[in-house]
């Protein structure tokens, strides 16, 4: 009802005709209701989008227009230099970017791969204790991070991994996290079991079945996992805060958070920084938003 897909070959005339027919069918009461709904939604949209617009606006304003009253909603001049100044002169954002890309990229690969393997085990495996271990898996999603925080720090310290990216990338290869395992398991279970049975009759090994049958068929779910992993690690603040000390090792989030002193960095440059750091996520989000909504649904309702 809500996601009406229009016939792509409709002409404007057809659409107008359909709209006219809809209009004739629908009561005044319903039209008023829809209009009201739309107004409320638009109002909410202002709350959600407004800050972003303000962020961008502040980023491109010249410094003297920052504190003006009345507010300037559309700047007379666009100071694109703010982006340049921030990125290249105020702090080593190039290094921050490199570190962030490394951490994010490695995790995407590691988490997607290991979550697939584990999820396949939970989806199609037949081993003693499977259901019990699955309950344990789900239970771990409810454990607050604080409870494992300190011993993990101690472990990584003893391994000599402090001030490096290892604590941030190695855990990703151990299953990738309960959330992704859960999501992929649910998806795998929807694939017809006949495929696997046929392959086994042809003598295929388990790994081969996973790699050549399940993974290719799971591209939507795997993409969802990759996108979620991207978002999580690109925006991760606490992990880098804990394990990255030297400025050269910092990620974008740490770099952005450190721009505090108004004497060194102006507000509009700070906003420019915030905008730049957010940009990749926004781009990825717009391209992949379909996966977001479906991925969240997949894991949120079942089980």
Report the site for another protein in 109-138 (rule: CB under 8 A).
114, 117-118, 120-122, 125-128, 130, 133, 136-137
Helices 130-140 and 178-188 meet at what angle, rounded to 10?
A: 130
Q: Which of 17, 21, 37, 190 binds another protein (CB under 8 A)?
A: 37
Instruction: Identify the residue among 83, 161, 166, 292 touching another protein (CB under 8 A).
Output: 292
Q: Is the sign of the CA dihedral 252, 253, 254, 256 positive or negative?
A: positive
Q: How far is the CB of 81 from another protein (least distance, A)?
A: 19
Out of 32, 149, 159, 195, the only residue in the binding site for another protein (CB under 8 A) is 149
What string of DSSP letters covers 62-105? Answer: -GGGTT-SSPPSS-SS--THHHHHIIIIIS-HHHHHHHHHHHHH
Q: Binding segment for another protein among 69-77, 78-86, 191-199, 213-221 (CB under 8 A)?
A: 69-77
Distance CA 54, CA 48 (A): 11
Alpha-carbon distances of 178 from 62, 143, 239, rounded to whole Å = 47, 11, 18
How far apart are CB 234 and another protein at their closest, in Å? 7
Identity of the residue, 150 or 219, whose beta carbon is nearer to another protein in the bound complex: 150
Q: Is 8 in the site for another protein (CB under 8 A)?
A: no
| Residues within window 183-202 making contact with another protein, judged by CB under 8 A | none
Quote the CA–CA distance of 153 and 263 in Å, as a whole number. Answer: 34
Minimum separation from the CB atom of position 89 to another protein (A): 19
According to CB under 8 A, which one of 16, 31, 32, 49 is a site residue for another protein? 49
Which parts of 73-112 interact with another protein (CB under 8 A)? none
Using CB under 8 A, pick the residue from 20, 32, 51, 264 that binds another protein. 51
| Cα 278–chain centre separation | 11
Q: List the one residue from 85, 199, 213, 231 that touches another protein (CB under 8 A).
A: 231
Rounded CA-CA distance 100/277 in Å is 10
Q: Which of 16, 32, 154, 264 binds another protein (CB under 8 A)?
A: 154
Q: Which residue among 31, 88, 237, 287 contacts another protein (CB under 8 A)? A: 237
Considering the complex, state which of residue 38 and residue 198 has its C-beta at the smaller distance from another protein.
38
- The C-alpha atoms of residue 91 and residue 81 are separated, in whole angstroms, by 15
Q: Binding another protein by CB under 8 A: which of 9, 48, 77, 192? A: 48
- How many residues sit in the footprint of another protein (CB under 8 A)? 94
Residue 260 binds another protein, judged by CB under 8 A: yes
Contact between residue 225 and residue 115 where contact means Cβ atoms under 8 Å apart: yes
d(CA 188, CA 116): 9
| Residue 27 in contact with another protein, rule: CB under 8 A | no
Residues 6+ apart with CB under 8 A from 137: 122, 178, 181, 182
Least Cα distance to 111 among 210, 185, 181, 209 occurs for 181
């Amino acid at each position: 009802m809500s996601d009406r897909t229009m016939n792509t070959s409709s002409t404007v005339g057809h659409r107008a005709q359909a709209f006219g027919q809809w209009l004739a069918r629908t009561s005044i009461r319903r039209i008023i209701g829809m209009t009201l709904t739309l107004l409320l939604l638009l109002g909410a949209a202002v709350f959600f989008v407004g800050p972003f617009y303000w962020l961008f606006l502040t980023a491109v304003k010249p410094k003297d227009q920052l504190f003006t009253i009345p507010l300037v909603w559309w700047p007379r001049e666009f100071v694109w230099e703010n982006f340049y100044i921030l990125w290249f002169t105020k702090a080593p954002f190039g290094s921050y970017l490199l570190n962030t890309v490394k951490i994010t990229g490695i995790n995407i690969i590691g988490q997607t791969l290991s979550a697939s393997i584990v999820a396949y085990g939970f989806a199609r495996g037949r081993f003693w204790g499977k259901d019990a271990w699955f309950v344990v898996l789900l239970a771990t999603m409810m454990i607050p991070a604080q409870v494992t925080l300190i011993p993990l720090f101690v472990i990584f310290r003893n391994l000599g991994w402090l001030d490096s990216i290892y604590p941030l990338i190695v855990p990703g290869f151990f299953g990738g996290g309960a959330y992704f395992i859960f999501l992929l398991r649910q998806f795998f279970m929807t694939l017809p079991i006949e495929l696997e049975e046929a392959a086994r009759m042809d003598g295929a090994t388990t790994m081969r079945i996973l790699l050549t049958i399940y993974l290719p068929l799971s591209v939507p779910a795997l993409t969802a996992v990759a996108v979620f992993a991207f978002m999580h690690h690109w925006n991760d603040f606490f992990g880098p805060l804990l394990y990255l000390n030297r400025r050269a090792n910092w990620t974008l989030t740490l770099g952005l958070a450190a721009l505090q002193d108004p004497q060194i960095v102006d507000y509009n440059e700070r906003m420019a920084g915030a905008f730049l750091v957010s940009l990749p996520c926004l781009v990825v989000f717009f391209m992949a938003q379909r996966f977001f909504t479906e991925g969240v649904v997949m894991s949120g309702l079942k089980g």
